Chains A and B, each alone.
Chain A
Amino acid sequence: MSKITIPLGPQHPALKEPVNFSLVLEGEQITGSTVNLGYNHRGIEKAAEDRTFLQDIYLIERVCGICSHSHTTCYVTCVEEIAKAEVPERAKAIRTLVAELERVHSHLLWLGIAGYEMGFETLFMYTWRDREQVLDCLELVSGNRVHYAINTIGGVRRDITPEQKTAILEKISVLEERTGYYIKLATEDATVLARTQNVGKLPHAVALERGAVGPTARASDVKRDVRKDEPYLIYDKLDFKLITHNTNDVFGRVVVRALELVESYKMIRQVLNYLPEGPIAVKVPAKIGPGEAVNRYEAPRGEDFHYVKANGTDKPERVKVRAPTMANYPSVSYMLDGGYLADVPMVIAAIDPCMSCTDRAMVYDKRSDKVRVYDWNDLRKYGIEHYKKRGIDFSKK
């Protein structure tokens, strides 16, 4: 049979994010694949060098819409290390709380996507409905559903009140019950088993060789979790299990994430009951360094890695971000080889890839057939005028 090469993506190959795969097919079977990345490189590392350490928190938060807290925490811990700032215990606890809430929201989102990719859309509807519970918790704590902006250099920006604690605990109980059902579903349902078992195999040795991280690696029985290996924040005070699975396939990745949800609920309870009294932030001078630091963080998708170099001014000399998906891509080509075309979206989605999108607004004017790029000031002016016409004037002092 002759071989054909087909492109998959960059438009929405599995998730709604851009990545391109070239797949070499022999009939229905994949015999080779290459991954092409870089469709939304936004130059964040360069932009970070032109902003102050504090402004960079807001920039780094936007590396990703789902693990926004992971990136800022990893970044601020580097900055605090260089500045030799002693972060209060309460701030660390609040960071841990938001981190675990974020993991719950990310894993539930992924479980829904997995359901969607396997043609089990009821699962998608259920998990995304339940995910609202944890998004409500995050909104309660931070005021936002996705970009929580809870971190600042030296601590956190918002405290947790006893009322918030009660509300979060209530919602976590609801989620725990629902998750029990999902675990049963993931391990017993015929559709899930048929679509995930023996699909996207990644043997233990290959996962190590290609540097896989997070649940992708843990489903290949790689016992790696930064929270356990090099505890940061208050993870050394929490009691939780390192979840691994040994089936090396998509099924294993579903199970690992589902069981990690339960561990996260446990941790959220522990953190809320621990929450020591005290200040939530310390003052850190604007000028930092010179010095450099690297830190790792277990994001929902795996090891997140940040390097920060300071030169004694209020702006960093260099900021490097390595998101977990980047480390998992070399493994995807291996998982795809030998598999079937119909399983490709499932395999890609199983590493829970995360690229991120939009950089600026482009407007296409149908009447004049022109494309106009708005800069920040234009957009601001446009927004003010738009609302002025409707009787709301934001420009008034």
Chain B
Amino acid sequence: MSEFEKEEKYKAKLEAKFGAAVSGVAVQRKNRVWLEIPADKLVELVQFMKTELGYDHLSTITGFDGGENLGANYHLTDTHGVITARVKTPRTDPHLPTVTAVFPGAEPYERELADLFGIKIDGLKPGRRYPLPDDFPADQYPLRKDWKTADAYPVKTSQEAE
């Protein structure tokens, strides 16, 4: 048995439950496990982790721009360790399911994905945008790599402003 007994156990449980659906399961170090899962299995996975593994706290969701794919890392914790589930979605039509049915506290994190990355969150209840201002252009997503500040706020020097 390796030195990461607890982490290997989680890895085995996840692989047993989801089979080939989970990929790239890696024990990075003590208390850190990473894995990847298709978007349609995401809700099932977080539900399983919450009820079966005791990972009942969603610390946050980190969106990312990986070129062809956009995606998100769901960081779950049982207070001791962190398991991060990575989900990818095509840049041309980015969609992810909401996990608010399992973690109600995920709502602001999902709004961030929608506002900053332009990932549509299926099933997220309608509400005010967050965190960008109400008058920010709706088709611009600042955390995508091809977005530059000047897209939304054309730069003017103080001389030009005068």
Asked if B158 lies at the interface with its beta carbon under 8 angstroms from chain A, I say yes
Q: What are the interface flags for A255-290 relative to B under an 8 Å C-beta threshold, 1 for contact and 0 otherwise? A: 000000000000000000000000000000000000
Asked if A188 lies at the interface with its beta carbon under 8 angstroms from chain B, I say no
* B64 A330 Cβ-Cβ under 8 A: no
Least CB separation from B134: chain A residue: A38
Within 8 A of B (CB), among A309-354: 309, 318, 320, 322, 326-327, 329-330
A43-B142 CB under 8 A given contacts A38-B130, A318-B64 = yes
A211-B105 CB under 8 A given contacts A46-B143, A305-B59, A318-B62 = yes
Within 8 A of A (CB), among B59-80: 59-60, 62, 64, 73, 75, 77, 79-80
* B104 A330 Cβ-Cβ under 8 A: yes
* A374 B158 Cβ-Cβ under 8 A: yes
Within 8 A of B (CB), among A221-263: 224, 226, 229-230
* B80 A211 Cβ-Cβ under 8 A: no
Least CB separation from A291: chain B residue: B28
A309-B64 CB under 8 A given contacts A210-B104, A303-B59, A372-B162 = yes
Chain B interface mostly helix, strand, loop or mixed?
mixed
Chain B interface category by residue count: 35 or more
* B82 A296 Cβ-Cβ under 8 A: yes
* B158 A320 Cβ-Cβ under 8 A: no
User: B residues within 8 A CB of A36?
Assistant: 128, 130
Least CB separation from A223: chain B residue: B79
Query: CB < 8 Å: which of B28, B107, B143 contacts A330?
Result: B107
A307-B132 CB under 8 A given contacts A45-B143, A229-B79 = no
Q: Which residues of A contact B (CB under 8 A)?
A: 34, 36-38, 41, 43, 45-46, 81, 208-211, 224, 226, 229-230, 293-294, 296, 303, 305, 307, 309, 318, 320, 322, 326-327, 329-330, 372-375, 378
Q: Which residues of B contact A (CB under 8 A)?
A: 28-29, 31-32, 56-60, 62, 64, 73, 75, 77, 79-82, 84, 103-105, 107-109, 116, 127-133, 142-143, 147, 149, 157-158, 161-162
Query: What are 15 A-B contacts with C-beta separation under 8 Å?
Result: A34-B127, A37-B130, A38-B129, A38-B131, A46-B143, A209-B105, A229-B79, A294-B59, A307-B62, A307-B75, A309-B64, A330-B105, A373-B161, A374-B158, A378-B158
